[in-house]
Amino acid sequence: MSNPNHHEQPYGVGLAYRFNVHREAVQHRSEIDLLEISTEDYIIRERRTFSDPNERLLKDALATFPCVAHGLSLSIGTVGELDDVYLNSTRRFMEENGLNIFSEHLAYHRVDGNDLTMFLAIPFEEVAVQWVKRNYYAARRAVGRPFALENVTYSFPVPKGSLSEAEFLCRICEETDCTLLLDVTNVFNNSRNHNYDPIEFIDRLPMDRVSQMHLAGGHQLPDGRWEDSHSAPVMDEVWPLFNEAVKRSSNLRNVILERDSKLKPFDSVMTDIRKAREIFYSHRPSEAPTLESAPFADVDIAPDPDAPEFAGMKSFQRALMGRISNPPFRDAFLANAPEAVKQYGVTDPEWFQKLVECDGRLVHEFEEAWDYFEKEDEQVAKEYEQREWAAWANQLGPGGF
């Protein structure tokens, strides 16, 4: 039975919604407390077209389950203009569907119009805290509500950070009214890949600000690094950490299992959901605690990407993206870095040093991924064009005009 208010404060353990397991999710309604809707699946035309074009399944999911919304394209850490079209579409989508809870990623992936579609770590620096604060409040105004920020898995941290990752998250929470979406798999992977103790890490976070959690599957790569593939069961090593994290999160409202592929057999998804429920409800009340919806005041801090205090971080981001996406710059950087970086306005010696000290092997992996996607995009565009032509020829039929 549809309840128009059930999106107000979804509570419990649920699943990142994918239209291709709609029927299975509905069949397990009694064990799936909520769904997380990926907003981009509906506000980006191409993605909607290839899934649920009339939103028939979406409407049914919204009527059947309490839902929260989750975005991907904010790139809150980019010192640059926010994407107003994305933010306005997100707000409209949430309003039209009665959604109340929103979350995004504490990372960046878009610079100078180039979208890497993979997350890069925001520098763990006070200047970045100040930038994220401005972007957060601008985005909060655009989407019309405070929202949660999610810790991401990052391939390499920006070198010589003056803050630790935990301190950075604490500072973001001090400077804004965001809550945290703690992705426990990301904490685990980062702790293994960047050599820290995950329990010590969460003990340094303001755990009373954690409103949501993510769990995802992953695996260890042949080179020893850990990856969140979103296509496998949650790793055994992650469950004890999840237990400790839930235990410490007195204001946690919901947990979402993220599985993007290999969703069938659905039993393997349900096995993870059941484990997560057991842990969640062993530390949290079985009934959702009432939450006063506190009014929030507008905060008018306009982000100015041209402000001098952000020039160093901006130039660093531009040059790093240049290394990844601009082959002539890559060569120029290798030949004479101090000269080459002038093209992106890197003049501050500290930011130049950070750029030079980024792990070259890992930056190179991004370069390869970028080149691959570029080729793939070209190929997809070509195939699309061919299909259009074929469809047109087909429509004309034998004999043409």
- CB burial of 381-399 (b: ≥16 within 10 Å; e: otherwise) equals eeeeeeeeeeeeeeeeeee
Question: Taking contact as CB under 5 A, which single stretch among the options 212-220, 247-255, 298-306, 336-344 is the one that binds Fe ion?
Answer: 212-220
- Count of positions on this chain that bind Fe ion (CB under 5 A): 2
Question: Which one of 214, 275, 323, 354 is in contact with Fe ion (CB under 5 A)?
Answer: 214
**Is the CB of 64 or the CB of 189 nearer to Fe ion?**
189
228 in contact with Fe ion (CB under 5 A): no
**Is the CB of 41 or the CB of 183 nearer to Fe ion?**
183
Distance separating alpha carbons of residues 36 and 69, to the nearest angstrom: 6
Q: Which of 218, 229, 236, 233 is nearest to 265 (CA)?
A: 233
**Is the CB of 83 or the CB of 150 nearer to Fe ion?**
150
What is the pattern of x (binds Fe ion, CB under 5 A) and - over residues 153-192?
A: ------------------------------x---------
**Two tokens, residue 323:** 């290394």
**Is the CB of 134 or the CB of 214 nearer to Fe ion?**
214
Instruction: Count CB atoms within 10 A of the CB of residue 282.
Output: 10
Minimum gap (Å) between residue 25 Cβ and Fe ion: 18
Output DSSP code: residue 112.
T
Instruction: Count CB atoms within 10 A of the CB of residue 239.
Output: 18
**Is the CB of 104 or the CB of 183 nearer to Fe ion?**
183
Distance separating alpha carbons of residues 287 and 253, to the nearest angstrom: 11
Greatest C-alpha distance within the chain: 74
Distance separating alpha carbons of residues 210 and 187, to the nearest angstrom: 13
Minimum gap (Å) between residue 68 Cβ and Fe ion: 12
Minimum gap (Å) between residue 190 Cβ and Fe ion: 12
What is the pattern of x (binds Fe ion, CB under 5 A) and - over residues 83-112?
A: ------------------------------
Contacts of 189 (CB under 8 A, 6+ apart): 153, 218, 226, 227, 228
Where does this chain bind Fe ion (CB under 5 A)?
183, 214
